[in-house]
Amino acid sequence: MTISVVIPARNAARTIGRTLESLARDRQLICETILVDDGSDDGTGRVAVEAARGTGVPLRVIAGRFGSAGAARNAGLAALKGRHVLLLDADDEMVPGGLRRLWSTLNADTVARMAVGASVRRTARRPDKIKRPVPFGSDLRQNAQDYLLNKRLPIAVGSALFIAEDGDGLRFPESIGLDEDTCYWAALLARLPTVAISEPVLFYYLDEDRMNERFVTEPRKLLTGIAREMNRLGAFGIDKAALQWRKAWVALRIARQLIMYKEYREAAYILRMAEAHADFRGSWKVNQYKTRIAAGLGLQSIGLRPPDRARKAGASK
């Protein structure tokens, strides 16, 4: 038994049972499952203990107030004892046999120190989509840069298994709620030879509404925090050009969500950050966003199309 599974959880009583059940088939490989309960008030820890007892999955609970998924994951990483590490979210599930597939592939490769499998993305309003990683090259720095430049699909938490000692000293950013996993995976890719698996190992459940809300909650603070964390990746030999591109691309994503929420003034401010990069300046997408912002501001100037969050706030009073 060699694998430590680290699961951060906050008010996950509704989903944690099926998450742990998805590990049961491969429980012979698991030496511990660490549930980091981040201030839950819905009985997440109790439900998890009951579910683990029923499935035979070895579980220990670390309870506290950590404040973010990144901080909770770091607490689990600091406490693990296994030779291999699987990070898993409390609302996702391993494909039957997925953990063994990761473990077998990693152990069969004489060079690789991390294995990344395909994932099945599930959302409420769209059909399932399989996201397969492309093969990784021998140039570790290039793997990390390609990841940041979107030349590779995102690595879903739960789709990667790596050797614990290789992650020593690496931690998730704790002050940002978006792209913290991107920073972590980029750092690992820059450090570890990685093997890709085309078969799915994970069912990844995406709450699009919750994800979109992260973009528009304190967007300037979010972008500043992400930029700071991206800059730290320079210590892994990642070119500054790739980091600058990633920061501009994130700004474009945030601007898009702000437009969807009709936060046009804030969108215009954030969009300028994207325009600072030559690859985005004058691009079709930036020009489209600028047109939509101008039209939205015009309508708001005559009392039409208020920001969605302002309208919701007014309705809740």
Residue 82 lies in domain: 3-206
Q: What single DSSP character describes residue 171? A: -
Q: What single DSSP character describes residue 95? A: P
Shared-domain flag, residues 10 and 107: yes
Residue 315 reports pLDDT greater than 70: no
Shared-domain flag, residues 113 and 10: yes
Shared-domain flag, residues 173 and 248: no
The closest of 51, 32, 47, 39 to 8, measured between CA atoms, is: 39
Instruction: Please compute Rg for the chain using Cα positions.
Output: 21
Helix (H, G, I), strand (E, B) or coil at 168: coil
The closest of 189, 263, 173 to 222, measured between CA atoms, is: 173
Shared-domain flag, residues 170 and 289: no
Shared-domain flag, residues 163 and 244: no
Total domain count, the chain? 2
Shared-domain flag, residues 53 and 97: yes
Is residue 9 within 8 Å of 37, Cβ to Cβ?
A: yes
Shared-domain flag, residues 285 and 249: yes
Out of 156, 187, 206, a domain closes at 206
Shared-domain flag, residues 114 and 225: no
- Count other C-beta atoms under 10 Å from residue 104's C-beta: 14
Please state, in angstroms and rounded to a whole number, the distance separating the CA atoms of residues 148 and 236: 13
Please state, in angstroms and rounded to a whole number, the distance separating the CA atoms of residues 141 and 240: 12
Strands (E) in 58-209, as ranges, are 59-64, 84-87, 93-94, 114-122, 129-131, 160-163, 194-205
Residue 86 maps to which CATH number?
Answer: 3.90.550.10
86-120 tens-digit pLDDT = 999 999 999 999 999 999 999 999 999 999 999 99
Q: How far apart are the first and last CA of the chain?
A: 55
Residue 1 is predicted with a pLDDT of 62
DSSP, residue by residue, 187-218: HHHHHS-EEEEEEEEEEEE--HHHHHHHHHSS
Query: Which residue has 């597939």 as its token pair?
Result: 101
Out of 206, 238, 254, a domain closes at 206
Shared-domain flag, residues 201 and 215: no
Query: What's the mean pLDDT when you consider all of the chain?
Result: 94
Provide, rounded to the nearest whole percent, the portion of the chain with pLDDT above 90: 89
Kindly indicate the confidence band of residue 212, based on its pLDDT and cuts at 50, 70 and 90: confident
Out of 206, 237, 266, a domain closes at 206
Please state, in angstroms and rounded to a whole number, the distance separating the CA atoms of residues 131 and 120: 6
Residue 214 is predicted with a pLDDT of 87
Residue 312 reports pLDDT greater than 90: no
Predicted structure pTM score:
0.93
Residue 264 reports pLDDT greater than 50: yes
Shared-domain flag, residues 68 and 216: no
Residue 41 is predicted with a pLDDT of 95
Shared-domain flag, residues 198 and 223: no
Shared-domain flag, residues 40 and 54: yes
Provide, rounded to the nearest whole percent, the portion of the chain with pLDDT above 70: 97
Is residue 77 within 8 Å of 171, Cβ to Cβ?
A: yes
275-296 tens-digit pLDDT = 999 999 999 999 999 999 999 9
Please state, in angstroms and rounded to a whole number, the distance separating the CA atoms of residues 313 and 180: 29
Please state, in angstroms and rounded to a whole number, the distance separating the CA atoms of residues 189 and 184: 9
